[in-house]
Structure 1
Amino acid sequence: MKRLFITGGSGLLGSKFKYIAGSKYEIVTTHHKNPGENSVLFDITDENDVMNKITSLNPDAVIHAAALTNVDYCEDHPKEAWNVNAKGTDNIAKACEKTGSKLTYVSTDFVFDGERGMYSEEDKTNPLGYYASTKLEGEEFIRQYDDLNYAIARVSVLYGWHTRMNFVTWVIDELKNGNEINIVTDQYNSPTLADNAAEAMIKIFEKDKTGIYHTVGDERINRFDFARNIAEVFDLDSSLINPTKSTNFVQKAKRPKDSSLNVEKVQRDLGIKMLNTTEGLNYMKKVMQ
């Protein structure tokens, strides 16, 4: 049985691989602060730890989902963000080149400036904040290795069932409790069901695809309309959702206005359906029952 090594195994995306592919592959997950069942303690910022553990396990593939993703925290802690998101990725790439493991690096839609949206894999990147810059540096580190078999999988607004809150579970929780919420109408993304993204990344490994893939939901939608879709699918009161503008929120890091991504390449090359928000939310509702 082939072995897949998942960094960030306690996170929303990383936790989905055992569920999606655990019957086909030996899935080894890692953690740093939040241990999961049978997960391996792993510090991506420690080059020796990364090299020792990846070489000893000798996985067929590494899916690198671990990252420091709090955008405003990264703006205030640039050194830590760089060590985790950029240098940590370099450490993993170096180990994967040595073992010959296929590396899939999970990157972000925030590598684009959001001036127009529906970006393809070939479009020019222009990150606005420090989080996005460090994730792009991770991409650039990977490209420097001549003998590394790699793919870059960009995601956007990951959502799904998990022990920690994400946008969808937060909206469900607030509306169930009868709380009004203010959601912006002027930020567009391609929200991504984590289960669907994990499925796409497994396909990248199985088909041995290389290069960049936009493994996101097949929809350009603003946060307000996304929240209304959540209310509709889960039979919650949409009148509690108030439209607002991003200028009404004080945020340290600048966000792209429209970082939606085009999924034509990933659907064509992998033969996979990337779900829109209604489809993804209905999947969540189905597995909940």
Structure 2
Amino acid sequence: MKFFITGGSGLLGERLSAIANDNYDITLSHNSNPTGNTIKCDITNEQEVEKVILNNSPDVIIHCAAMTNVDLCEDEIDKAYDINGNGTGNIARAGEKVGAKVIYVSTDFVFDGKKGNYSEDDEVNPLGYYAKSKYDGEVQLKKYSTNWAIARVSVLYGWHKRQNFTTWVINQLRQDNDINIVTDQINSPTFADNAAEAIYEIALQDKNGIYHTAGNDEISRYDFTMKIAEEFDLNKELIHPTNSTEFVQKAPRPMNSSLNVHKVEKELGMRMETCSESLHRMAENE
């Protein structure tokens, strides 16, 4: 099976490449962060996207590339929509021309966080411009592709040269730095390797629709941080609880955007891991 992966130099793109079956034919693309095994593809350039996709003619496009800085999206609204919304539309149209399935990596932030434990059928209500632009990507995917799937993740983490929440916590605590972590924001932290495994299953089983390919937890940032410290044998005394009213962030965050993963486990026949299970696997691979 031939895969084309956007955002190939990012965390999920790299893990999709790393865990891939040897029989897969994989092409990774980048825009501004090239690595030794990626090709250039600016997803906001419709002509460039079409040319690259037509040249590669993949069976499946896994679309990971995104503008993910939640607060920056509040300042650069047009850019956020251009990348997350229109860029996804460009990928969907090009994929349709070559008959490729398009799997779009979306986010738990499409929900407003008022109830938590969201299923794929729950109504979306994105709050900030990151969330709204990512949801626009979902809308454009459905509009322009007839063979699509959406894989929603939450607080994606794993080993990567660019920092994510988990590696930031590990680095800070290893340097004996005190950190303040909110207790009232609840998510389903997602190990990139586990999300990659689920995304490949969507492709191999030719599934269509929305799937919550997230961690199997409903957990606060603070409790997640405590689990990180526990697994990596770090000093929990450096972790101090705070709340969202004291920790000012530019973009609004959903208070409980945790995702229900029952559909993934039932339909794909695989397990989405808890934080404890994934952090243990991450520690073993350091």
Q: Deviations over 1:115-167 (max 9, x none)?
A: 0100000000000001100111111111113x621100000000000001111
Q: 2:210 aligns with which of 206, 209, 212?
A: 212
Hey, what's the Cα distance between the residues in 1 that align with 2:142 and 2:225? Answer: 37
The DSSP-based 3-state class of the residue aligned with 1:173 is: helix
For 2:271 and 2:127, the matched residues in 1 are separated by 30
Conserved 8 A contact 2:71-2:251: yes
Deviations for 1:174-203, whole angstroms, at most 9, x for unmatched residues?
A: 111111100000000000000100110000
Equivalence map 1:235-250=2 (5 Å): 235-250=233-248
> SS of the residue aligned with 1:104?
strand
* 1:259, distance to aligned residue in structure 2 (A): 0.2
1:7-46 CA-to-partner distances (Å, cap 9, x unmatched) read 0001111111111115130111011111112210110000
Letter in 1 for 2:136: E
- In 1, Cα distance between the equivalents of 2:160 and 2:37? 17
The residue aligned with 2:29 is 30
Q: Retained in 1: the 8 A contact 2:182–2:247?
A: no
* 1:287, distance to aligned residue in structure 2 (A): 1.2
> 2:257 maps to which residue?
259
Q: Which residue of 1 aligns with 2:201?
A: 203
Q: Residues 48-67 of structure 1 correspond to what in structure 2 (within 5 A)?
A: 48-67=47-66
Shifted more, 254-263 versus 25-34: the winner is 25-34
Report the Cα distance in structure 1 between the residues aligned to 2:79 and 2:235, rounded to whole angstroms.
Answer: 41
> What letter corresponds to residue 72 of structure 1 in structure 2?
D
Letter in 2 for 1:276: T
Match of 1:191 in 2: 189
For 1:208, the aligned partner's letter is: D
Tell me, in whole angstroms, the C-alpha distance in 1 between the residues paired with 2:166 and 2:70. 18
Question: Could you tell me how far apart the structure 2 residues matched to 1:158 and 1:210 are?
Answer: 22
The AA in structure 1 aligned to 2:179 is I
Q: Give the partner amino acid of 1:148.
A: T
SS at match of 2:9: coil
Aligned residue pairs total 286
Runs of 4+ aligned structure 1 residues displaced above 3 Å come to none
Answer whether contact 1:81 1:134 (CA < 8 A) is retained: yes
- 1:169 maps to what in 2? 167
CA distance in 1, matches of 2:117, 2:11: 24
Percent identical pairs in the alignment equals: 56
Contact 1:86 1:135 (8 Å CA) reproduced = yes
For residues 58-207 of structure 1, what are the structure 2 equivalents within 5 Å? 58-145=57-144, 148-207=146-205
What TM-score, normalized by structure 2, do the two folds share? 0.99
Note the alpha carbon deviations across 1:256-282, whole angstroms, 9 max, x for none.
Answer: 000000000001111111011000100
Q: Tell me, in whole angstroms, the C-alpha distance in 1 between the residues paired with 2:233 and 2:76.
A: 40
TM-score (norm 1): 0.98
Q: 1:46 maps to what in 2?
A: 45
Report the Cα distance in structure 1 between the residues aligned to 2:17 and 2:167, rounded to whole angstroms: 21
**Contact kept in structure 2, 1:175 and 1:240, CA below 8 Å:** yes
SS at match of 1:34: coil
RMSD: 0.8
What secondary structure does 2:43 align onto? coil
In structure 2, stretches of 5+ residues that fail to align are none
Secondary structure (helix, strand or coil) at the match of 1:106 reads strand
Taking the aligned partners of 2:36 and 2:254, their CA distance within structure 1 comes to 36
Q: Distance between the aligned counterparts of 1:3 and 1:37, measured in 2?
A: 19
2:227 is matched with: 229
The question of whether the paired residues in 2 share the 8 Å contact of 1:67 and 1:85 is answered with yes
| Aligned equivalents of 2:3, 2:142: Cα separation in 1 | 21
Instruction: State how far apart, in whole Å, the 1-side matches of 2:165 and 2:42 are.
Output: 27
Equivalent residue letter for 1:111: V
Unpaired stretches in structure 1, ≥5 consecutive residues:
none
Task: Kindly provide the CA deviation profile for residues 84-123 of structure 1, in whole angstroms up to 9, marking residues without a partner as x.
Answer: 0000000000001110011000000000000010000000
Counterpart in the other structure of 2:2? 3
* Paired residues of 2:159 and 2:167 also in contact (CA < 8 A): yes
Q: What amino acid is the match of 2:204?
A: E
Contact 1:72 / 1:253 at 8 angstroms: preserved in 2?
yes
Q: Distance in 1 between matches of 2:264 and 2:271?
A: 9
| Aligned partners of 1:17 and 1:27 also within 8 Å | no
